[in-house]
Amino acid sequence: MYIPDPISKLIDGFMRLPGIGPKTAQRLSFYVLGMEEEDVMELAKALVRAKRDLQRCEECSNITDHKRCLVCADKGRDRSVICVVQDPRDVIAMERTKEYHGLYHVLHGAISPMEGIGPDELSIPDLLKRLEDETVQELILATNPNIEGEATAMYLQRLIKPFGIKVTRIAHGLPVGGDLEYADEVTLTKAMEGRREL
Amino acid sequence: MYIPDPISKLIDGFMRLPGIGPKTAQRLSFYVLGMEEEDVMELAKALVRAKRDLQRCEECSNITDHKRCLVCADKGRDRSVICVVQDPRDVIAMERTKEYHGLYHVLHGAISPMEGIGPDELSIPDLLKRLEDETVQELILATNPNIEGEATAMYLQRLIKPFGIKVTRIAHGLPVGGDLEYADEVTLTKAMEGRREL
């Protein structure tokens, strides 16, 4: 095929990204040729920087380009609550609510015997170390509401209860804007179980 | 928002690409964090190289990383036929058929009064220069079968006929694997007009 080498290399590069097949990769590559050189250089630099400069926060394991992440470094946050999430993206989602002012702990995954991920593969030892200090009063388990997430929440609850710390789990129920008619049985059962007096 | 700077820069970078919105850009960016450093570096390098090293072939205006593109540099090609296309991607599509063995000429667009693109914005002067040499015997107009493409084909046909060169237009008709029932009227009319004796 008569495709110049720089273009076919770029197509190959884009195809390594998720959800990008050969057609999209070709479309993106030819688009890049028409972009401002400055914008292309910035994207290339951002790729290198994101890969090289990011590390885990030494406190909560969230990703950061400093020693401690922006949440841990923020003196205005409530240090008595830690919200445990699976992924750095979950922190972004939580922060978007602007309603939570405590700290986080990022596990980087969930317990999954199927994929060979046990508690030791996650940042659970770091979490236990944070609980030795007596400032933490509540641990909110915000792992995903699926099998792995529930198993992880269950495991953490059993592990941490003996510390005498309040352990809570985020609520399951109908999503706002959802439709009762289309809700699955498990969600509906959980929504009924979790009902609150008005 | 508590997104580390390298990540938000990368999200911004991805969002400059076509068809990539904030959600996809975030997904791609976090995926990059988990990729092998080598693969990320290669993608970054490919971006820079594609933008810096590619230029137009001095003969046919196709994109190339040399002075002349791979088709023009190929001594086995039939130099008596030139296929005129709008875009370097069209060359790739034509080459995929493996049925055409002549040369190309890439216009880099089509005449479009609506977008202010006249003949002078395209590589038409270069095409005329190529026709001065008497080796060219046929010019195949393979611009797109839409208003701009047809207008460009019409313009070129009128311009080049006086040179005494055979000017042809690729056939319009039903795409292979298509369905007569769903074909639009114009395509069907063209297919009828272009019928051939078996």
**Most B CBs within 10 Å, among A10, A29, A56, A66, to test the B interface:** A10
- Contact list in B for residue A7 (CB cut-off 8 A) is 50, 54, 63
pLDDT digits (tens, 9 = 90+) for B73-127: 999 999 999 999 999 999 988 988 888 999 999 999 999 988 899 888 899 999 9
- Reduced to 3 states (helix: H, G, I; strand: E, B; else coil), residue B65 is coil
The CA distance from A128 to B41, in Å, is: 36
For CA atoms B85, B91, B95, B100, give the dihedral sign.
positive
Report residue A138's pLDDT band, with 50, 70 and 90 as the boundaries.
very high
Are the CB atoms for A184 and A172 separated by under 8 Å?
A: no
- What tokens were used for A74? 């923020």
pLDDT digits (tens, 9 = 90+) for A142-172: 999 888 999 999 999 999 988 889 999 998 8
pLDDT for B192 equals 84
**Residue entry with tokens 């059993």:** A158
The residue ranking higher by pLDDT, B100 or B133, is B100
- Contact list in A for residue B33 (CB cut-off 8 A) is 50-51, 54, 63
Distance from CA of B25 to the nearest CA of A (A): 11
Element (H, E) at A193: helix A185-193
| pLDDT at B2 exceeding the cut of 80 | no
The CA distance from B82 to B75, in Å, is: 15
Cβ contact, residue pair B92, A1, below 8 Å: yes
From the list A4, A31, A54, the residue facing B17 with the nearest CB is A31
| pLDDT at B4 exceeding the cut of 90 | no
Q: Among B97, B63, B98, B61, which residue's Cα sits nearest to residue B82?
A: B61
The CA distance from A179 to B122, in Å, is: 55
C-alpha separations of B69 from B54, B66, B82 in Å? 10, 6, 14
ipTM at complex level: 0.78
- Reduced to 3 states (helix: H, G, I; strand: E, B; else coil), residue A64 is strand
- Contact list in A for residue B76 (CB cut-off 8 A) is none
Percent of chain B with pLDDT over 70: 99
pLDDT digits (tens, 9 = 90+) for B137-163: 999 999 998 889 999 999 999 999 888
Query: What residues are paired with B168 via a beta bridge?
Result: B140
Cβ contact, residue pair A4, B91, below 8 Å: no
Average pLDDT of chain A to the nearest whole number: 90
| pLDDT at A192 exceeding the cut of 90 | no
> Which domains does chain B possess?
5-53 (1.10.8.420), 76-169 (3.40.1360.10)
Cβ contact, residue pair A2, B95, below 8 Å: yes
The CA distance from B13 to B7, in Å, is: 10
